[in-house]
Homo-oligomer: A and B are copies of this chain.
């Protein structure tokens, strides 16, 4: 669906410089072609939420399929005086050959579980770190924020309109895409709407009203041009004294004779709860009970929840800067860690130690299984297992908390679904991207498998992400071994 004319940027060089120094170093030390395994995962859900929404796989694929070093890139790197000619040749003839697995976009995901796994030659798997993180971190951040905002708005439509305050062009373009995945109904970002085939919306700004001598003249001109799509912005001067009276006058004078119902009014400032109630009454009294009220004033999930709790009369929400930048928590802290190395065909698990227990990685090549209850079809827990483990749905399964191991639960009537799907096999793309709207529908379905307690905005129940017994044993033994080493050194 993407137009080449807009997307033929080559982002191969959008890479942290250290990926290049390391890749060159791997080659120099003859470990460049060693097969390694990296996990991309995150440790904490933003805003104290109960889940995140995976997003960005399509753009990760686009980046990888377009990997190519141009002559000027090679020249640039040569001029840095740090890279061997062998390495520069490798880049010039770069051919991607990794395996990649990823959790499909729109899936609710949780801390600690791999969202992307890369297996391949160290030199390549290392190189793609920056762009995998950048892509998945950004879109997952925004899809998650959008999901929270849509949860707060209940069933009322939420429209994304933050482009002007986004952090750069792609912040707007892919941010709008991620917002749709998270549940928004439409975007004001025309380019995103065009490229990703999502609904575009927009009416007028204050400048339209100001350009005319009076607000009445401005509204009348609009109604004449857009009789079928007449949404008037009523807060340029004064909502109750000027905006709504002028809007009703124009609805009566221009649209009524045409037998066309006006669509709505938009309020972009002031006390939303108070104004929306007054406006609703004024519209109703004038016979415009069906005319919708849209609000768009620095909204986020907290304000939306609060105004709805206070009985505001709102039909839809336009959400800008606080969604497109995830203002309350604008960083998604996904990381990319080495978890295994192959040696003579055998997978040697690796672990990253930290004094901060939650920063210790899960070693080895893995798969994540989502466990569903056979009766309710609700998701009970996710189980991170080693790649060669098989979960037998016909036997009972005991899951346990990886820290407080005495907290355990025996499951009987359940079925499991693996979360990670193959995306690339030996460098060949084997995955077909769904459309953005299909992903939004999938996300909605998947969210419905979570208990409401996991989905609520504040103090949600912590969803269980457990390790298989085999993985837990492996991790414990590696930690013990490491502690022994340090003791010996003291």
Binding site for B on A (CB under 8 A): 3, 5-11, 13-22, 24-26, 28-29, 31, 34, 36, 38, 70, 72-73, 76, 80, 82, 122, 126, 129-130, 133-134, 137-138, 141-142, 161, 163-175, 188-191, 193-194, 200-208, 210-212, 221-222, 224-226, 229, 236-238, 241-242, 245, 269-270, 321-322, 325-327, 330-334, 336-338, 341, 350-356, 359, 482, 486, 489-490
Residues of B within 8 A of A225 (CB): 24-25, 28-29
Q: Is the CB of A325 within 8 A of B321?
A: no
Closest to A126 in B: B207
Closest-CB distance, A340 to chain B (whole angstroms): 10
Q: How many copies of this chain sit in the oligomeric assembly?
A: 2
State whether A208 and B171 are in contact (beta carbons under 8 Å apart), knowing that A17-B193, A190-B15 are contacts in the complex: no
Closest-CB distance, A474 to chain B (whole angstroms): 16
Q: Is the CB of A72 within 8 A of B226?
A: no
Closest to A339 in B: B210
Q: Is the CB of B354 within 8 A of A269?
A: yes
* A and B contact pairs by CB, cutoff 8 A, 14 listed: A3-B72, A5-B70, A13-B191, A17-B190, A18-B202, A18-B203, A18-B204, A21-B229, A28-B225, A76-B194, A165-B333, A168-B170, A269-B355, A270-B355
Q: Is the CB of B122 within 8 A of A134?
A: no
Residues of B within 8 A of A490 (CB): 241
Q: Is the CB of B17 within 8 A of A202?
A: yes
Q: Is the CB of B20 within 8 A of A190?
A: yes
Top 9 A-B pairs, shortest CB-CB distance: A17-B202, A168-B170, A18-B202, A133-B164, A167-B167, A330-B330, A13-B191, A207-B338, A168-B171
Residues of B within 8 A of A34 (CB): 211
Closest to A59 in B: B169
Closest to A236 in B: B352
Q: Is the CB of B337 within 8 A of A207?
A: yes
Q: Taking A13-B191, A18-B203, A29-B224 as given, write out 10 further A-B residue pairs in contact, using a Cβ cutoff of 8 Å, ordered by the A residue number.
A: A15-B190, A22-B204, A25-B208, A82-B229, A138-B171, A142-B167, A165-B331, A167-B168, A236-B352, A242-B486
Q: Is the CB of B129 within 8 A of A14?
A: no
Closest-CB distance, A185 to chain B (whole angstroms): 14
Most buried by B among A7, A19, A25, A129: A25
State whether A168 and B164 are in contact (beta carbons under 8 Å apart), knowing that A333-B321, A350-B210, A352-B210 are contacts in the complex: no
Residues of B within 8 A of A330 (CB): 167, 325-327, 330
Q: Is the CB of B10 within 8 A of A6?
A: yes
How far apart are the CA atoms of A229 and B169 in the complex, in Å? 35
How far apart are the CA atoms of A427 and B126 in the complex, in Å? 46
Q: Is the CB of A167 within 8 A of B164?
A: no
How far apart are the CA atoms of A20 and B200 in the complex, in Å? 11
Closest-CB distance, A23 to chain B (whole angstroms): 10
Closest to A56 in B: B168
Residues of B within 8 A of A38 (CB): 207
Most buried by B among A11, A38, A168: A168
Q: Is the CB of B16 within 8 A of A482?
A: no
Residues of B within 8 A of A270 (CB): 355
Residues of B within 8 A of A174 (CB): 168
Residues of B within 8 A of A242 (CB): 486, 489
Most buried by B among A221, A331, A333: A331
How far apart are the CA atoms of A238 and B191 in the complex, in Å? 49
Closest-CB distance, A384 to chain B (whole angstroms): 19
Q: Is the CB of B167 within 8 A of A237?
A: no
How far apart are the CA atoms of A88 and B15 in the complex, in Å? 40
Residues of B within 8 A of A172 (CB): 14, 134, 168
